[in-house]
Structure 1
Amino acid sequence: MAAELIIAFLSTIGNLLVCAAVGLNRKLRTVTNYFLVSLAVADICVGTIAIPCAILTDVGLPRHNLYLCLLMLSVLIMFTQSSIFSLLAVAVERYVAIFMPFRYHALMRPRNALFLILTTWLLAFLIGLVPLMGWHKTPPDSGYCFFVLVVDMTYMVYFNFFACVLTPLVIMFLIYAQIFVTVKRQMRRIAAEQGGRGEGQVRAAASTRREMKTATSLFLVLFLFTVCWMPLHVINCFLLLCPRCPVPLELLLTAIILSHANSAVNPFLYAYTMRAFRDTFKAIFLCCRMVGDREASNVTNGDGREGAADQNTHQT
């Protein structure tokens, strides 16, 4: 429980910082970062809503209320699905930027990005609410709200994992593979033409390097998401396909904590790999520190003035 609370705190604070950075720095207000803000909002919801719900259901609460139990168990599925769709939107946006550069500004307008974000959240909520619509197990006589006793594993494996998680992940990995192959080919071509290098070629080389760096940073976000979530989905497959295979409780809890931890790592990854985010984070911390120092100075000066006034009154 302590690990879950720490993850919830880091996830909430870190992703609020991501949203603040995009809101404060105009250079960060790009379509790519709008999708990353959508991902950050999903991670904030994991920290503030999903993890508290998971902690309650770990002890079997609420009891004898099937629909409230299913709603609490569906919350994490909703936000996970929203994260996947946000990552898919980022991959598609990068694909359009590299393979359809002349149509990029027409297709990836901020208004279109907002519409796409709203659509992904709506789809995520509909997918997460499927257990509430009837695809769930018969509740146990004890009335305890445990995930494996209430949520149907056929839903979690065949519908949620294979259709709604694994398929988008495969599509995203294929997109990034094509992006890396294409960008590397462009870099080799530019290097081969280096002898007659003009201003246009210099700009093309710089633009290609930026695209490669951005794609690498975003791929790391996707890779960490896959690493954090795949163990839990594999365990769900074992629970369904091999009911008699023992799954140690410690292994299951570790996989759950690892999946939740993914919501806390992205802000650190942005700070490490993206200079614009790193500089904005530093500016926010410095601003907060300056405000804190100014308030402390005002308090000290106020105490000094009050002390002097009291002394003058006493002397009078």
Structure 2
Amino acid sequence: MLHVLLIAIDRYIAIMFPLRYISIITPNTITTLTISTWALALFCGLLPTFGWRKPAEDLEYCNADQVVPFSYYAFFFLVSFLIPLGMTLGFYWKIIVIARSQVRRIGEMRIFVTRRRVIRDGDDTPVGDSPRNLELDINPEMNSSDNRNSSVAIVKAVKTAAIVSGVFVICWLPSFAFRFVMEYLNYNSDETIRAPLFEAFTNFLAFANSAANPIVYSFRYRDFRGILKKIFK
């Protein structure tokens, strides 16, 4: 979940600060964020080992909820899933707002430039009917096709990152929610409640996420499909 959050932050910086992106997202920055992410995950996962647990003796079998209190599960669910998920959704919402604003500004700029060209050339043809309104002549070396292709590439990258994040949430949310609900029920029950088949299904769905990303990228990018074909060959 923290990795998905970092992807959202990366896309946000790329959209919000495109000219400064290379100077912000450096190899050192990536290394620092990756190490910090794994350190935080490791710290949260080892808290029961450090003492946040309940005593248990004469265990017939080893299960986490026999030694881990519900308060830890609540903390873990909040820190490792809900907060990062909320931040991820917030970043993508901001990206959508910014992208829509940029598309609208580009459209207004194209209309403005077209009108200037019509006036400059002395063309009396209405702007809406002029073939020049299909061109973006702000930079002589960059035509409307270049701008359109660039915009499409950016939007496609953002959509792909959003799809990857969405698939991750779909795959992992049932597992997190199931564990949280089961721990809550067992915390308030004298008997241990089990649902092994549903637990196995949620675990399978969560781990299947590891195979989902290559599929997503294959559908979204032709180059990635070519690379996968070479690998399988």
SS of residue matched to 2:59? coil
* Mapped pair 1:185 → 2:132: no
SS of residue matched to 1:135? coil
SS of residue matched to 1:183? helix
* Mapped pair 1:226 → 2:173: no
1:172, distance to aligned residue in structure 2 (A):
0.6
After superposition, where does 1:236-275 map in structure 2 within 5 Å?
A: 236-242=179-185, 243-244=188-189, 248-275=195-222
User: 5+ residue gaps in structure 1?
Assistant: 1-83, 287-316
CA distance in 2: counterparts of 1:249 and 1:285, whole angstroms:
36
CA distance in 2: counterparts of 1:276 and 1:136, whole angstroms:
49
1:263, distance to aligned residue in structure 2 (A):
2.0
**Corresponding residue number in structure 2 for 1:278:** 225
After superposition, where does 1:200-219 map in structure 2 within 5 Å?
A: 201-219=144-162
1:252, distance to aligned residue in structure 2 (A):
2.3
Aligned-CA RMSD value: 2.3
CA distance in 2: counterparts of 1:248 and 1:273, whole angstroms:
37
**Corresponding residue number in structure 1 for 2:3:** 86
1:168, distance to aligned residue in structure 2 (A):
0.7
SS of residue matched to 1:271? helix
After superposition, where does 1:269-308 map in structure 2 within 5 Å?
A: 269-286=216-233
**Corresponding residue number in structure 1 for 2:178:** 235
**Corresponding residue number in structure 2 for 1:46:** none
CA distance in 2: counterparts of 1:179 and 1:236, whole angstroms:
32
CA distance in 2: counterparts of 1:204 and 1:139, whole angstroms:
65
CA distance in 2: counterparts of 1:249 and 1:275, whole angstroms:
41
SS of residue matched to 1:129? helix
CA deviation profile, 1:198-250 (whole Å, cap 9, x unmatched): 22554333222111111111111111111111112222332343434966332
After superposition, where does 1:1-316 map in structure 2 within 5 Å?
A: 84-157=1-74, 159-192=75-108, 193=110, 195=133, 196-198=135-137, 199=142, 201-242=144-185, 243-244=188-189, 248-286=195-233
CA distance in 2: counterparts of 1:274 and 1:258, whole angstroms:
24
Structure with bigger helix share is 1
CA distance in 1: counterparts of 2:68 and 2:210, whole angstroms:
23
* C-alpha contact 2:11 2:158 (8 A) present in aligned 1: yes
1:266, distance to aligned residue in structure 2 (A):
1.6
Which amino acid letter does the alignment assign opposite residue 119 of structure 1? S
CA deviation profile, 1:69-103 (whole Å, cap 9, x unmatched): xxxxxxxxxxxxxxx22211111111111101121
CA deviation profile, 1:49-75 (whole Å, cap 9, x unmatched): xxxxxxxxxxxxxxxxxxxxxxxxxxx
CA distance in 2: counterparts of 1:90 and 1:163, whole angstroms:
18
Scaled by the length of structure 2, what TM-score is found? Answer: 0.77
* C-alpha contact 1:190 1:201 (8 A) present in aligned 2: no
Which amino acid letter does the alignment assign opposite residue 278 of structure 1? R
* C-alpha contact 2:2 2:80 (8 A) present in aligned 1: no
SS of residue matched to 2:216? helix
CA distance in 1: counterparts of 2:107 and 2:145, whole angstroms:
10
Scaled by the length of structure 1, what TM-score is found? Answer: 0.58
1:108, distance to aligned residue in structure 2 (A):
0.8
CA distance in 2: counterparts of 1:151 and 1:276, whole angstroms:
46
